[in-house]
Amino acid sequence: MKLRALTGMALRELWISYRLVPVVGLPVLAGVAVIAVPAELGGVSAIAGAGYSYAIGAGAAICVAAALAASTWAHERRRGTVAWMAVRAVPRSAVLVAWFIGYAMLLVGGIVVGSIGAWLAAIARAEAPIDPIPFIAAVAALACTALAALAAGLLVGSFLDRGMAAVLVLLASGAFVAATILGPQAGVPLPATGIGLLADLGATARPVSEALRAAGAALAATAMLLLLAAVVLERADL
């Protein structure tokens, strides 16, 4: 019940500060924008082109959301909100997890809606029926990557000021996403492999199994980053 109330407070803060608009809106906009992108951009098939286009847009949205999460968490920590709750017997880690859940709900929701737009654009261009399972698996791996990015943003926001935290997370996540999309897909699953898998969906031999491996790596990274953020927060001066 306490975690639910804290999550509600985080969502309310995101609502009244309008920060939920880019977190939800950018992934949705990326899905809508697929309609305007030529189908041949990402490959010879409609699903490959839609996956490539949406991977770029969703990757950019994830970078922005992670930077916002870092900035928001650093601001909440510096202005004394976490300290005010700590003196009222609210664990610091509970506040951290509540903000993570709030951001995760909005970002994953935006990714789901945006992916529907990308899928509709793909089937409208396809000359033959398309199997939706590989696309769904790749989008699920992409959503898990988004969770890892948010956890990384909260970790950086736990020890840096808001401006520096946002810039650092934006640059680091942007470089990571660009390298994943443009570089070859490695055999070892990384937290951001879901983005690269969606971008290279037409050339992946086993997209579902690769998506499951990528999702598992991203979820493991999310858990480790949140745990590290909680440890850092416990030792931080509020």
Q: DSSP string covering 134-165, please?
A: HHHHHHHHHHHHHHHHHHHHHHHHTTS-HHHH
CA 72 to chain centre: 15
The tokens for 210 are 């690769």
For the chain, 238 residues long, the average pLDDT of each consecutive 10-residue run is 81 89 94 74 64 89 96 86 69 90 96 92 75 89 95 94 94 89 61 79 75 90 95 78
What's the confidence (pLDDT) of residue 81? 72
What's the confidence (pLDDT) of residue 67? 96
What's the confidence (pLDDT) of residue 76? 86
* CA 162 to each of CA 172, 199, 238: distance values in angstroms, whole numbers, following the listed order: 15, 31, 14
What's the confidence (pLDDT) of residue 50? 79
Find where tokens 């610091």 sit: 92
Of 227, 187, 232, 228, give the one whose Cα is nearest residue 210. Answer: 187
What's the confidence (pLDDT) of residue 42? 47
The tokens for 134 are 């590989």
What's the confidence (pLDDT) of residue 205? 65
pTM, whole model, 2 decimals? 0.90
